[in-house]
Amino acid sequence: MTAQEDPFDFFSYHMPDVSRWNISGGFDSERPYSSCTENGICKWDLNFTDGKTQIVNHFNGSIPPLPREMTFNDDSVLSVIAYSCLFVIAATGNLTVLITLLRSRTIKSRVNTYIMHLSIADLIVAFVMLPLETVWNITVSWEAGDAACRILMFFRALGFYLSSFVLVTISLDRYFSIVHPMSIHDAERRGKLMISLAWALSVIASLPQSIIFHVERHPIFTWYTQCVTFGFFPTPRHELAYNLFNLITVYVTPLVIITTSYCLILHKISKNAKLAKDDCLEYGEFKYRCHTYPAHHCARAGKIGKARIRTLKMTLVIVTVFILCWTPYFFMAAWWWIDKKSAQAINPKVQRGLFIFAVSNSCIDPIVYGMFTTAFRREARKWRGWFKRRLSEMGLYTLTPNTAIAQEFFK
């Protein structure tokens, strides 16, 4: 996240050092001093209005230094490196997931469809948010104009909203599949409806970003422009209400739905396991069923059960990763909005680190998918082989005979 006055306001952004002021006078950056004395001491006459207070700033002989958040500093360097690494990992991993799913014969399965939409959300983060944050940390000021400011802020929020809502969809699908298996005939229609709703709600929730964000010019350093929300909200309470609404929409509500769904799922599995064990020990009903049905039917039922459990484990890990990555950031964000004075004591490097850690969720999703899917690992090996061949052709990598044979096999 770029250096800003409110490091935890992902959905709002203030111009550095001017959030308290309303400008009553202009400033000519080409002629920075309004008057200079014969001994070379110059005065900068800048009128600011804060209620009824008039302030005139005086600077002796030199232009005042820029605030740290308006300069490219060591924190900016660390952010650029971190976002660049995350971009490579997120882009490579999620593109591999998307290609794997599009090539897979089981693309029509509901879970694969959900994972595909989740990878699309992560790709929005990878190709919009991560490059945006990288370039923004390099330039520090906003250089792309008002239209780009509004459009990019919309997509910046869209990726996170969509990722959160797709995870809710996955959790609800697993809930209906395991807790209410008799509703399986409605699963396809329900799945399409939930995915459509996830996209629609994500777009609606992200649209205010394109209205609230706009380009403003710094009142003192007029060459400095920034994509901000400064001046849009009538009072700080309105801004707090908007930020809390986003916090509840993108994190708290999905967290409650996801946690409730998986608690009910685990309760149902535990209950069924206990009933099956009791039936087997006390009445032999479970054994009778197995001997009554043909052997191939029982084997098929076992495979279906194992596949369902594997899918449940994968989705549960994905959801857990989301919660672990985003909880520290949103906890600090809530603290910042409720009691900003005490939250400001947190080291700025920790503040940036929490956001970067949260964004890393888009990198971890494809890794989790790969842990549970052989097709993904096969596709990843193909990509790795292709990349090594290109490096070999450029003379940057030497292929051994065994490596070349293996890569030919996976072409």
Q: Residues 73-103: pLDDT tens digits?
A: 888 899 899 999 999 999 998 998 888 888 7
**Which DSSP letter does residue 181 get?**
G
DSSP lists the bridge partners of residue 23 as 48
**pLDDT bucket at 9, cuts 50 / 70 / 90:** low
User: Nearest-5° angle of CA 168, CA 173, CA 179?
Assistant: 120
Q: What element of type H or E holds 330?
A: helix 295-338
Determine the Cα–Cα distance for residues 380 and 396; give it in Å rounded to an integer: 21
Count Cβ atoms below 10 Å from residue 18 Cβ, excluding itself: 21
Q: What is the pTM of this model?
A: 0.74
350 Cβ contact list (under 8 Å, min separation 6):
none
Q: Is the dihedral of CA 74, 79, 82, 85 positive or negative?
A: negative
Q: CA 49: distance to chain centroid? A: 38
pLDDT tens by residue, 316-373: 888 899 899 999 988 888 888 888 788 878 887 887 888 888 889 989 888 887 777 6
Mean pLDDT of 245-267: 91
**Which residues are within 8 A (CB) of 95 and not within 5 positions of it... i.e. 6 or more apart?**
123
Do the beta carbons of residue 135 and residue 96 sit within 8 Å? no
Higher-confidence residue of 203 and 5: namely 203
pLDDT band at 384 (very low <50, low <70, confident <90, very high): low
Residue 24 makes CB contacts below 8 A (sequence gap 6+) with 47, 48, 49
Residue pointed to by tokens 């983060």: 125
pLDDT of residue 395: 66
